[in-house]
Structure 1
Amino acid sequence: MEHGDVGYLLQYFQKKLVENPTFYHAYKMDDEDQITNVFWVDASMLIDYECFGDVISLDSTYCTNTSHRPLAVFSGFNHHRKAVIFGAALLYEETTESYKWLLETFLEAHKQKMPQTVFTDQAQAMAKALGEVMPGSYHDLCVVPAVFSYHDSFSSSSSVTSLNRAKAVKKRCGGGAIEKWCGREVVVRRR
C-alpha cells in the first residue's frame, strides 16, 4: 500500500476508535517496516459475530482497490436472513502466512470464539491456514458457479434453465451438492 493510503487509513481507524472504544484494528508489517495486511471490526461486527458467528464465510475474491490488494470479508447471516459482516481486511498477498495472520487476528478481535463452520472458496493457502488456526471448525467449500457469468447464472427466470445450469455446475465441480443460498445456486463440497 502506498504511504499516503496507509496514513489515511490509520487516521480513519484512530477516529473510529475515539468514536467507539470497541472498534478494533490491527496491521502487520514486513521486514522493511511497510504495512502489508490490515484488519478491522467495528462494534456492530463484534455484536453480530457474538450472536450469529457459528457459521461464517471468508471471501477474498474481491480485488477492487487501485493497488489490486485482496479484500477479505468475513460474513454470515442474522436471524432475519440478512447478510452481516463480521470483519474485513486488506491483504498484501494471498499466502498461507497472510491467512494465518488474518485468522489469528480475527479470533483475537472476537475473544477467541471459534466458528463451527467456515465456508470458503478453493484457495489452497486459505484452506491450509484454516486447518492450522481453526482445526476445530468444519471447513466447507462454497463455490459460486464461475463456470457462467454472474448475469447468465442468476438472472434467468426459467426453472428448467436453472435446473440445467445446476446439473452442469454439479458435473463440472465434481459432484458437489447443489443447494439454494439466498435464492442463488451454490455448489457445496465438503472437505
Structure 2
Amino acid sequence: MFVENLIGRKDTCISFYIYFIVDENKCLAGVFWSDLICIKNYILCGEVLSADATYGTNKYDMVFVPFTGVDHHKRCIIFGAGLIGDKSIECYTWMFKTFLEAMGGRQPRIIITDQDKSMKSVVPEVFKESTHRLCMWHIMKKLREKVSYQLFQDEDFKTRLNRCVCNNQLEPDEFEEQWGKIMTDYQLVEHKWFSDLYVLREQWIPAYFKDVSMSGLMRVTSRSESENSFFDRFLTPHLTLVEFWVCYESALEAQRLKQSKLNSENKHSEIPRKTKSNLEVHASEIVAECDDNDVKLLIEKMRDIRLDIISNRSVLANKKDKMKEIENYVGCKIPEKLVIHVPKNPKNKGRTKGKRIESQMLKALKKRAKEKRDIINLIGIVFPEYNNFKAFCTINNIVVLQEHNKLY
C-alpha cells in the first residue's frame, strides 16, 4: 500500500522521483523519494549536505534517512528521504547512489553524518568529490552515557569542554593544549571514547577547518536540535508505513509554507542595515536588483578572496604574533596611546551623581518651585497669623487655604 501510494504520486506528477528495491522474500528492503521542489532546493542550497540515519520510524523497524541542508533563511530544508531495512554497507551504498542519481549526479562540497561505521566507509566510495565531516551535535549528545554521573553533573567540566570543542576561533595547537589540560584535570587520558574522538579531531573540531563554510549544520547545536524535533513529530514506533507517509507529507507541507512566508516577507521588506554608511546602502541596492546567478557569483568570488587570505596566513602561536599579522595586513601599527577629543555637545548619560548636567526642563521646574516658596514666605511675613495655614500657588493666581475660612 505504501509503495502503491508513491507510484500513484509518480503517475500524477512526472517530476516526482521514486526508486525502491525488494529482498529475496519480496519484502521492501529500501525506498527513496524526492520531488521537483526538493531537487531545486538541492541545486540552490546543496553545497553542504547532512545525512542522518539515527531515526527509527515505524513498527517494521526500518531506518529513516533524511537528506537535509540549510536554505537562505538559515532554516533546515529537505532534499529527499528514504527508508532502508538495516544499517549495512549495502543499504547505505544503494541509498547514497540513488540520491545522487535523483540529483543528476551533482555531489555536495561537504557531507555531514553521524559516527556510524558503515556510513563512514561508504561515504568516501560514493561521494568521491565531497569532504566528509562528523556532526558535533550527535557526538556531544553521547556525553551523558560515556562519562560517570558525577562528572556529567559537573558544570565546570561541561563548560570547559564546550569552550574547547565549539570555539571556532582556536588554532589547532590551542585546541590540543586545552584538550590535554581537560583530559589531565579530570583523569580522562586513558578514556577510550575521548581517545577515539581525539584521533578523529580533524573531522569534527572547527579549529581544523576554519576556512570551510558549514552552513551552521555542524557547529550550531540549536539547529540540529530543531531538525531532530521536526522529524520526531511523525517518527513514532507504532506507525505503519502509510501513516508515516501521511505524517511526512504534512510536515513537509508545513515546512514549505513557512519558507514561502519568509520569502514573501523578504521580498516586500527592506533589508536591515548594520551601519549608515553609503557603501552599505549602495551594496544593498545592487544586490536587490541582481538575480540569483549574480548573487551566487559574488559569493563565490568573496569565498575565493577569503580562502586566498587564509592560505597565505601563517599559523600563529600566541597573541603577539596575531597582533603583528593584523598590523601587517592593515598596513599600520596599533597606537600605544589613544587621544580622546572632548565632544562639543556633552551628553548627560553616564555622569556620576551630583555632576549630572541639568536639562532645561529640570531647571524650569526648580525655578517654578522656588517662586512658589518665595510667595508663600511673603504671605507669612505680611500675614503672620496665617503662618500655620497651607498654601497652594499656581502661575497666574495664589490661593491660600485655611482650615475653616478662606483668605482672598
Is the structural similarity TM-score above 0.5? Answer: yes
Give runs of aligned pairs for residues 114-153 of structure 1, distance below 5 A: 114-144=107-137, 145-146=140-141, 147-148=143-144
Distance apart, 1:118 and its partner CA:
0.2
> 1:5 corresponds to which residue?
none
Give runs of aligned pairs for residues 73-92 of structure 1, distance below 5 A: 73-92=66-85
> Which consecutive segments of 4 or more residues in structure 1 shift more than 6 A?
none
Encode CA deviations 1:82-110: one digit per residue, 9 max, x unaligned.
11111111110101111110011001111
1:127 & 1:73 partners in 2: Cα distance?
Answer: 17
Query: Scaled by the length of structure 2, what TM-score is found?
Result: 0.38
Identity rate of aligned residues, in percent? 27
Query: Scaled by the length of structure 1, what TM-score is found?
Result: 0.78
Most deviating of 99-108 and 29-38 = 29-38
Q: Flag the 1:184–1:27 CA change in 2: closer, same or farther, 3 A.
A: closer
Distance apart, 1:50 and its partner CA:
1.1
Encode CA deviations 1:94-131: one digit per residue, 9 max, x unaligned.
01111110011001111111111100001111111111
Q: Which has the larger radius of gyration?
A: 2
> 2:220 corresponds to which residue?
181
> 2:162 corresponds to which residue?
166
Distance apart, 1:180 and its partner CA:
3.6
Give runs of aligned pairs for residues 10-159 of structure 1, distance below 5 A: 10-144=3-137, 145-146=140-141, 147-148=143-144
1:148 & 1:169 partners in 2: Cα distance?
Answer: 16
1:90 & 1:47 partners in 2: Cα distance?
Answer: 22
1:15 & 1:97 partners in 2: Cα distance?
Answer: 28
Q: Flag the 1:83–1:110 CA change in 2: closer, same or farther, 3 A.
A: same
C-alpha contact (below 8 Å) 2:50/2:113 kept by paired residues: yes
AA partner of residue 177 (structure 1): I
AA partner of residue 28 (structure 2): I
Q: Flag the 1:167–1:185 CA change in 2: closer, same or farther, 3 A.
A: farther
Structure 2 portions without partners, runs of 5+: 146-155, 167-178, 180-193, 207-217, 226-408
More strand by share: 1
Distance apart, 1:162 and its partner CA:
7.1
Name the structure, 1 or 2, with higher relative contact order (CA <8 Å, separation 6+). Answer: 1
Structure 1 portions without partners, runs of 5+: 1-7, 150-159, 187-191
More helix by share: 2
Q: Flag the 1:67–1:143 CA change in 2: closer, same or farther, 3 A.
A: farther
